[in-house]
Structure 1
Amino acid sequence: MREFTTTQVESLLGEELNLIDVREVEEVAQGKIPGAINIPLGLLEFRMQELDKAKEYIMVCRSGGRSAQALKFLESHGFNVINMTGGMLAWEGPIE
């Protein structure tokens, strides 16, 4: 499993990042990383056709557990994904 720390992800802000936040809508309403797309983990199977296998995606959740599950699921379908360790609990960068 490929992983980035929150510091590594924050250093990439401003570049073309494909962030997917797999938290529930209510959690994301409290703040998310700028530019992140919310696809709750339970809907990922039904919305993965919205994703492009040619792109790299960074998966985000509250603590890193759900995003790791999402990573394993998407990897099994041929996607290039990275897990953000620590999740939003460890995130110290900007939020929107």
Structure 2
Amino acid sequence: MDQAYQVTEKVSGQRFQCKPGQSVLKAMEQRGLKCVPVGCRGGGCGYCKIRVVEGEFRCGKMSKVHCPPEALDKGEVLACRLYPLTDLIIESLSQSAADFAS
């Protein structure tokens, strides 16, 4: 059972695999990518805020300051607390793709 979900960051076009039960941010970091900004990794700072454009997911506990219910309704979540249930297309809300170019 080596199932993994593909996560695609819409602006940069970067793609990576995320294992079930693994956060999107952790999967991205393990592959050495930088398509989502990294902050506290604990769901409190809001730096890794993204919008899920397509796909199904579940979320862990996040700061309601950065992700109030109305943001969640629009698919705006923190990547450090985002766990895919299907392949995802995400869009970083913190910075533009040019900021991540190597």
- TM-score greater than 0.5 by the shorter chain: no
Counting strand residues as a fraction of each chain, which structure ranks higher? 2
Per the normalisation by structure 1, the TM-score is: 0.31
Per the normalisation by structure 2, the TM-score is: 0.30
